Amino acid sequence: MRATLDRIAAIVVKEFRHLGRDPRALLAVVITPVLQLLLFSYAISFDVDHVPTIVVDLDQSTQSREYLRQYQASSFFTVVAEAKTMDAVDSAFDLNQARLAIVIQAGFGQQLASGGQGEVAVLVDGSEPTSARISQAYSVAANQLYNQQLTQQWADAQGLDLSSLGMLEPRVRTWYNPERRSSDFLIPGLMVVIIAIVTVQQTAVTLVRERDLGTEEQLEVSPLRKGELMVAKLLPWTAIAFIDVAVIIGLGRWLFGVPLRGDLGALALGSALFVFAALGLGLLVSAVAPTLDTANILALLIAFLPSFLLSGLAFALDQIPVVLQWLSYAFPARYMVTISRIVFLKGGGFADVWPELVALAAYAAAMIAISTLLYGRRAAR
């Protein structure tokens, strides 16, 4: 046992010295993910607000202006232009200048005054589905509200009492994120994605480079066993990646105000396991790839799109075809995003995330085992 640790320690020291020799690369590896996270956390959001709206009022009556005021007053809608023709509306949509159009035909005021229904066309640009859905829902709600007001006014004028009608009233409660800030949802996920991409690429290249330089052969002659080699190679990078994760969690908490309601210990353990697992994946790639070129490209493919699309960062995973759901479990980012969200937002602890923790540990172990096997087979050839 002692000998094993000694051998591992020797390689770890060598790796650190290697790194120390190229300070620029080291800086890039440590600082870049942090910088990226800073920039993107600030930028990304799914919150829909200040929807650019174009208004066409062909009636120009008191009633129409009264109606339009609700849009101008709301922060959800931002009236960017008032036009006179439908052509202007078409053009505004074409050029992406407006996402919503309110068109009031002539005669609106008269219809209302005579006790009828005033027609309004609300046109929603469906090309951005999420905003479109939300805009649509808001418009419906806004109009319902307005109609309730009108009905109340009319009832008062008539002397009617409407309260005798039974109605259901929705009371909405939002759990975990009452202000519904999408950043709280996205940042824990973003952090995972960036680390996943950077770490997988890093290790994938390390071993292949070593092999290309011919030093791998030297190591294979030594009494160092394959498993020890793998573990030793991973440790320095684990340390660096972990530093990154720690910094990013801190930034998320204190700079962006993402609430950390759960157990920091669970998050820390999860992060460590995740980093190990991601690096293990990179290791597998390097063991599989015959050349440096292939390693690079393979690492890219495995790290990049799956991290963005299959981790649960932005696309809900319980809705996608089952086959793809299974595929998502092949990438460590998936587990970590879940842990991240449960701990940050839902106040979870070990009891809540233990399945993911176990999964990550098993994943890392599996990657190392398979890589060891493949390395052995390659050397035997």
Partner 1 sequence: MSLKRIRLLIWKEFTQLRRDPMLIRLLMLMPVLQLILFGYVVAVDVRNLSTAVVDLDHSAISAKLEASFAGSGYFRIVAHPSSESDLRPLLDRGTATVAIVIPEGTQDRLARGETAPIGIVVDGSDSQISAIGSGYASQIIAGFNNDLRDSAGVSLSPPGVDARIRVMFNPTMDPVNTMIPGLIAVIMMISLMAILSQAVVKERESGTLEQMFVTPIRAGEYLIGKVTPYAVLATAQMLVVAVVGMLWFRVPFSGNVWAVLTGLALFMLTNIGMGLFVSLVSRTRQQAQQAMAFLMIPTMILSGFIFPIESMPALIQPLTRLIPMTWALIVLRNSFVKGSDFGPLAVPLLVLAGFALVIFTAAVIATRRRISD
**Positions 147 through 166 that interact with partner 1 (CB under 8 A):** 147, 150-151, 154-155, 163-166
Positions in 278-297 near partner 1 (CB under 8 A): 292-294, 296-297
Q: Of 86, 120, 239, 374, which one interacts with partner 1 (CB under 8 A)?
A: 120
Using CA atoms, how far apart are residues 96 and 99, in angstroms rounded to an integer?
Answer: 7
Q: Which of 194, 249, 278, 367 binds partner 1 (CB under 8 A)?
A: 194
The single residue among 348, 367, 372, 375 that binds partner 1, judged by CB under 8 A, is 348
Half-sphere exposure of 270 (CA within 13 A, CB side): 32
Binding flag, residue 121, partner 1 (CB under 8 A) = yes
Quote the CA–CA distance of 98 and 226 in Å, as a whole number.
61
Nearest to 354 by CA among 373, 376, 339: 339
Rounded CA-CA distance 278/311 in Å is 13
Site for partner 1 in 49-68 (CB under 8 A): 49-52, 67
Q: How far is the CB of 275 from partner 1 (least distance, A)?
A: 17
Distance of CA 278 to the CA centre of its chain: 18
Segment interacting with partner 1, rule: CB under 8 A, options 93-101, 239-247, 273-281, 359-367? 93-101
133 makes contact with partner 1 (CB under 8 A): yes
Question: Residues 6 or more apart from 312 whose CB is under 8 A from it?
Answer: 189, 328, 334, 337, 338
Site string for partner 1, 321-340 (x = CB under 8 A): x--x--x----------x--
Number of residues that bind partner 1 (CB under 8 A): 120
Residue 74 found at the interface with partner 1 (CB under 8 A): no
At its nearest, how many Å lie between partner 1 and the CB of residue 282? Answer: 12
Copy the structure tokens of residue 313: 């960062």
Smallest separation (angstroms) from partner 1 to the CB of 147: 4
- Quick count: other Cβ atoms within 10 Å of Cβ 171? 4
Residues composing the chain = 381
In contact, 331 and 196? CB cutoff 8 Å = yes
Residue 127 sits in the site that holds partner 1 (CB under 8 A): yes
Minimum distance of partner 1 from residue 213's CB (angstroms): 12
| 46 contributes a contact to partner 1 by CB under 8 A | yes
**Between residue 173 and residue 192, which ones bind partner 1 under the rule CB under 8 A?**
173-178, 180-182, 184-186, 190
Binders of partner 1 in range 3-42 (CB under 8 A): 28, 32, 36, 39-40, 42
CB of 6 to partner 1, least distance (A): 30
Can you tell me the distance from the alpha carbon of 51 to that of 123, in angstroms, rounded to the nearest whole number? 13
Give the count of beta carbons closer than 10 Å to the beta carbon of residue 72: 12
Residue 77: beta bridge partners? Answer: 51
Residue 226 in tokens: 């394959």
- Closer by beta carbon to partner 1, 163 or else 380: 163
Q: Which amino acid is at 248?
A: I
Nearer to partner 1, 338 or 372 (CB): 338
Yes or no: say if 33 and 245 are a contact pair by the CB < 8 Å rule: no
Here the tokens at position 109 are 């005021």
